[in-house]
Amino acid sequence: AQKVTQAQTEISVVEKEDVTLDCVYETRDTTYYLFWYKQPPSGELVFLIRRNSFDEQNEISGRYSWNFQKSTSSFNFTITASQVVDSAVYFCALSTRGNAGNMLTFGGGTRLMVKP
């Protein structure tokens, strides 16, 4: 069975602050994929990044960066110099090769509020 835990249910920061969203996962599969999605108030989930279990290289995309550590089963997401437009709910998700198809296990989500 898979499990994703996002311990931070809500984070509030002031614009331009850096913020890190934590994600811890559990799986017995050796091949798996980790995702981050953003859910703005409009409702749809917007894909941000995918990482496979064999690629522990950290990634940076503009103000966004991701830190994947298999040793601690964590896949944390950092927003540098946060902006009001970053306000949304962020979900970490896991899928495994063992699933015959596309089935994501989501964490509970972290609501990020960026105040001006």
Partner 1 sequence: KAGVTQTPRYLIKTRGQQVTLSCSPISGHRSVSWYQQTPGQGLQFLFEYFSETQRNKGNFPGRFSGRQFSNSRSEMNVSTLELGDSALYLCASSGDGYSGANVLTFGAGSRLTVL
The footprint of partner 1 (CB under 8 A) covers 31-33, 35, 37, 42-47, 50, 52, 91, 95-109
Nearer to partner 1, 18 or 26 (CB): 26
Q: Residue 84 burial (CB < 10 Å; 0-12/13-18/19+)? A: exposed
Nearer to partner 1, 51 or 82 (CB): 51
Could you give the 3-state DSSP secondary structure of residue 70? helix
CB of 110 to partner 1, least distance (A): 12
Contact 12, 73 (CB under 8 A): no
CB of 65 to partner 1, least distance (A): 19
